[in-house]
Amino acid sequence: MMMVSLANLVAQVSGASAIAVGLLIGLGALGTAIGFGLLGGRFLEGAARQPEMIPTLQVKMFIVAGLLDAVTMIAVAIALILIFANPFISKVETTYASDQVAAQSSAQINDQAHPVVVAQK
């Protein structure tokens, strides 16, 4: 069984978290930009067709714009948690520590079960 160091495991988790943060922020921004583009275009189409409905359409547009921003802010909040308070790193550390304790106790049990006999002359 190959032993992996704690520093290597933490580095791998940190690297994967950095990739996840980049995807969260990048795809969140891309989705919001596409959503705002579609929303603005449809608002302008509706306003051009029925100018008397502009106040109603504008209220609905701002409600949907707030929802679009909320999705992006949730993604940014998750990204900040992954950067500054990564729960996966603490899980790796506790699992690694418990594995080390289990390995030490099994080694002690094996030493007690199979004592080394030294032949004397």
> Per-residue pLDDT tens for 57-92?
999 999 999 999 999 999 999 999 999 999 999 888
Residue 8 CB: number of other CB atoms within 10 A?
Answer: 10
Q: Which stretches in the chain have pLDDT values below 50?
A: 1
Active-site residues, by number, are: 69
Structural domains for the chain: 32-86 (1.20.20.10)
Question: So what's the pLDDT on residue 22?
Answer: 95
**Buried residues in 19-50 as b, exposed as e (16+ CB within 10 A):** ebbeebbeebeeebeebeeebeeebeebeeee
Residue 88 CB: number of other CB atoms within 10 A?
Answer: 14
Structure tokens at 93: 């550390």
Task: Quote the pTM value.
Answer: 0.71
